[in-house]
Chain A
Amino acid sequence: MRLFRLTIATIFQRKAWAICALAVIALPFALPLISSATEKPILVQPARILAAWDTLWICALIWGLFTAAREGESNAKSGIGEYFLTTGVSATRQLFEIWLAVFCYVAPLTLITALICQFAAAPQDPVEHAMWWVLNAQYAALFLLVLAPLLALATALASRFGGITGFAVTLGLTLYGLYGVGYLDNMLKLEENPILHGLWLFSPQYRFADLTQRLYFKSGALPSAAFWTMTLYFGGIFAVYTGLSRLCFRTKLSA
C-alpha cells in the first residue's frame, strides 16, 4: 500500500482538506445564525440540516472530485504510476490505492455531517427522533455509494484525458444526476420524446440519494424495501463506473 500512503500524505500536506473539515464542522452551526432562523428558533434545526448536508455535497463535489482528478493526473504525468507499475503494482491496484486515499478523506466528512445531524439537529418528538438515526445512516450510506465510483471515475478520466476533464465530466455528471434528470423528467411528463426518454432511462438518478428534503420535512426513514432497491441501483452504477474507470485508467502517458 505504498501508493496509498504516498497519496494520503500528499493530500494531507496540501491542507485543502482542512478547509473542507472546518466548513463541514463549522458551517452547520454558523450559517443558521445568519439566516432567518435567528428570528424563529424553530427554524434552527431545519436550517442546520440544510447547511450540514449541502456543505458536505459542495465539499465532496468540488474538493473531492478535484482531488481525485488531480491525483489521477499527477500519477500518470509524474512518472510515479510508471514507477509503481514496474515494482509490480498493477494499474487496477494503483487506481484502487489512489481512490482509497481520497475516499479516506471524504468518508469522515460524511460521518461528521451525519453526527452533526444526529446530535445537533435531531427532532424533539420521540417518534421522529427514533427514526432519525436510521434516516441519517441511510443518507450517509447512499451518499458514499454515489460518491465512491465518481471519485474513481474522476481519477481514471484525469489519468487519461487530464485533470480538468476528469473533474469537469464527473462534476457535470453528478449535477445532471442531482438536478438535470429531474428537469428531464418534468419535460417528459409534458411531452413524449423517445430519444429523451432513452436518455432519461440511462441517466444516473442521483436525486434519489439526496435525502436532505426528507430530513428537512421529517418524513421519517426510507422504507426498508425502497432503501435496498436504491442501494442495489446505486450499487449497479458503482459496478458500471468501476469498470469504466478501470478501462480509462492509465499509469503513464502514452509513448
Chain B
Amino acid sequence: MSKQAPSIQLDSGLEIGYGSPLARFGQAVTLAGGTHFLLARNGRGKTTLLRTLARTLKPVAGSFRVHGFTQYLPEDLRFDPEITPAMIFRTLLPKARLREALDLAGRIELDVKKTYGRLSTGNRRKTNLIAAEFSVKPNTGNILLLDEPFSGLDAFARQTFEEIWQQSATNVLRLVSCHPDYDAMAMPSALMIEGHQARHLGSDGQTWSHLKNLLN
C-alpha cells in the first residue's frame, strides 16, 4: 500500500444532524495530518459530525471526502467487563506493536491484568485509546475520530498521548472532540460549531482561551 497523506474535505453547504440539520458548514474546510480539535457546547453536533465523517450516519445535505484508514472511537465504547486490557491488545493489535502498547500502558499506569469491568473510567479510556492508536496503519494515511478522549483521563496520561500525537502528525489526522479544562491548551487548528454554523479556525498561537468566548 502506498503512503498517502490523510485528509478530510468538508464541502461548503455540508449539513449534519439526525433528520433535521444541527450544524452547517458555510465554507469549505480541508484538514490535513495532525491534530484538530472539535469544539462546541453540549448537544451542538460534535458526535454527530464525527459519526458523519465515520460514515455511520448520513449527512442531511452536502458532501465530504475522507482519505485514509478511518477509526472512530465512540465516547461510550466499552469492551466486555470480563476481558483484560492485555487480552484486548493481544486480539486487536498487530504483533509488531503489542510490546510498544504494553510499554505505554505501563508508563501511564494502566493495569493490563485487571478486568475491564473493574477499571476506572480513565483507565478504560486509556485502554480504548491505546487500542486505537496502535491500530494505526504505518504505510498509509490514517484518520482517528476521537469522541471526548480526555474525559476522565489524568493529566499525565493526557500529556503522554498528546506527545504521541505530535510524533505521528504526518500520517495520522486526528479530529478530537473535547471540552478543554485549562485556558493555555494549544489549539492551532479547531473546528467550531457555534449555534448552527460550523467553521474552521486555525493559527499557530491559538489557545482555548481565545476560542472559548466564541462558543455560544
A-to-B contact residues, CB < 8 Å: 2, 5-6, 8-10, 13-14, 74, 78-80, 82-83, 85-88, 251-252, 255
Contacts and interface: CB of A to CB of B under 8 A. Distances in A.
B91 A78 contact: no
A9 B72 contact: no
B56 interface: yes
Contact of B73 (A14, A83, A255): A83
A91 to B, nearest CB: 11
Interface string B183-197: 000000000000000
Contacts of A80: 77, 79
Contacts of A86: 54-56, 70-72, 145
Given A9-B88, A86-B54, 19 more contacts: A6-B79, A6-B91, A10-B79, A10-B80, A13-B84, A14-B82, A78-B79, A79-B78, A80-B79, A82-B54, A83-B71, A83-B72, A86-B145, A87-B69, A87-B135, A88-B69, A88-B70, A255-B18, A255-B57
A127 to B, nearest CB: 50
A50 B117 CA distance: 40
A145 to B, nearest CB: 29
A13 B87 contact: yes
A82 B135 CA distance: 16
B71 A10 contact: no
B76 A87 contact: no
A2 B87 CA distance: 12
A82 B128 CA distance: 14
A82 B83 CA distance: 19
A189 B56 CA distance: 53
Contacts, number: 69
B61 interface: no
A14 B92 CA distance: 18
10 contacts: A2-B91, A10-B79, A14-B80, A82-B56, A82-B77, A83-B73, A86-B70, A86-B145, A87-B71, A255-B18
Interface of B: 18, 51, 54-57, 69-74, 76-80, 82-84, 87-88, 90-92, 135, 145
Nearest to B19: A255
Contact of A83 (B77, B84, B87, B90): B77
Contacts of A5: 91-92
Given A5-B91, A86-B55, A252-B56, A10 B82 contact: yes
A87 B131 CA distance: 13
Given A10-B82, A10-B83, A86-B71, A78 B77 contact: yes
A162 to B, nearest CB: 17
A8 B91 CA distance: 9
A10 B70 CA distance: 25
B82 A13 contact: yes
Q: Which of A74, A86, A252 has the most chain B CB atoms inside 10 A of its CB?
A: A86
Contacts of B87: 9, 13
B80 A74 contact: yes
Nearest to A251: B56
